Amino acid sequence: MNHTAVIGAGTMGVQIALLLALHEHDVTLIERDESTRRSALERADAGLARHASRGRISHDAAEAARARIEVHADLDAVAGAGLVIEAITEVRDLKRDLLAGLDRLLEPDALLASNSSSFVPSSLATGIVHKERFLNIHFFNPVLTMRAVEIIGGPDTAVAAVTRATALVESLGKVPVVLKKEIPGFIANRILNAVRDEALRLCEGGYAGIETIDQACRLALGYPMGPFELMDLTGIDIGYATKKARFAETGDPADAPSRTVTRLVQQGTLGRKTRRGFYHYDENLRRGEPAI
């Protein structure tokens, strides 16, 4: 699987490509949107430079990794890949259509994976013929520093596919977290969503401000950052899309996005990437005062 294709050059796709390239994979990064495609290599260069400046990798390793990444617009560029990871936006129908198309393009022994943070394999594999080779390999943001990677097989996933995915994750210096069976949201995000939901209820109920809630989580619970800081880091729109999809599936009002998150998404204030979310951020993305 040393030739890997990553579909989607957004935040997660570029980071996954970097991780693979740093571990000597030849990576084909595929993105149909021209502006995203143009900026992908700039973001890859910035990520590598940042890690090199912090001493996490050598400058030689950064240059070698960058040389292993090619960016393409056409899905046909997946030809010959032993592993393909889908990392497009968290919209189930888009993922289903893409994965079904990829399944037709790949060699029989290639592994096909989704980086979805919430959709289980069986809900994405409706158009896939070779379901035995499909599963979720869920990387966490930021990919280069987060140690855990969740691996989720569906009811039709072969044991051999899970074994291969587990070996891949270990070869990337990560710790595989393998689920026994699929469940929406998997492990980490189900627990994290419960924390986020309660933090939002406390804020919307007027019990405490976001800085106070974040502080309590950091100092009393030992979290590296509070739930509002984390939502700003990962993108408020990502959590919003996940909650909307969950609500559409269950119809349970408890699964719907909160009014605060909905308002922020409608305003286009999505966290660090827009320099405003729950907090303000300066041009260097340093956190400032609360924005709500």
Q: Which helix (H) or strand (E) holds 22?
A: helix 11-22
Whether 87 and 196 share a structural domain: no
Whether 149 and 229 share a structural domain: no
Mean pLDDT to the nearest integer, 19-37:
96
**pLDDT higher than threshold 80 for residue 95:** yes
Q: What is the CATH number of the domain that holds 199?
A: 1.10.1040.10
Whether 216 and 88 share a structural domain: no
Whether 102 and 15 share a structural domain: yes
Gap between the Cα atoms of 44 and 53, Å rounded: 14
- Residue 207: inside a domain, yes or no? yes
Quote the mean pLDDT of the chain.
95
> Domain residues for 222?
189-287
Asked whether 75 and 101 are in contact (CB, 8 A), the reply is: yes
Among residues 126, 144, 178, which one ends one of the domains? 178
Whether 150 and 210 share a structural domain: no
- Residue 184: inside a domain, yes or no? no
- Tens of pLDDT along 199-243? 999 999 999 999 999 999 999 999 999 999 999 998 999 889 888
Confidence grade of residue 91 (pLDDT, cut at 50, 70, 90): confident
- Residue 110: inside a domain, yes or no? yes
- Residue 279: inside a domain, yes or no? yes
Whether 76 and 214 share a structural domain: no
Least confident of 243-252, 253-262, 269-278: 243-252
**pLDDT higher than threshold 80 for residue 134:** yes
- Residue 183: inside a domain, yes or no? no
Among residues 115, 144, 178, which one ends one of the domains? 178
pTM of this structure: 0.87
Whether 173 and 263 share a structural domain: no
Whether 174 and 54 share a structural domain: yes
Mean pLDDT to the nearest integer, 104-114:
96
Question: 28 or 92, which is more confident?
Answer: 28
Whether 134 and 198 share a structural domain: no
Among residues 254, 257, 255, the alpha carbon closest in space to that of 231 is found at 257
Whether 256 and 112 share a structural domain: no
Whether 128 and 193 share a structural domain: no
- Tens of pLDDT along 61-87? 999 999 999 999 999 999 999 999 999
Q: What is the CATH number of the domain that holds 92?
A: 3.40.50.720
- The total domain count for the chain is 2
Whether 203 and 169 share a structural domain: no
Among residues 149, 178, 207, which one ends one of the domains? 178
- Residue 37: inside a domain, yes or no? yes
Query: Going by C-beta distance under 8 Å and a sequence separation of 6 or more, which residues neighbour residue 158?
Result: 132, 133
**Any alpha helices (H) in 23-120, and if so which ranges?**
34-53, 59-67, 92-105
Gap between the Cα atoms of 174 and 194, Å rounded: 25
**pLDDT higher than threshold 90 for residue 196:** yes
In the chain, % of residues over pLDDT 90: 84
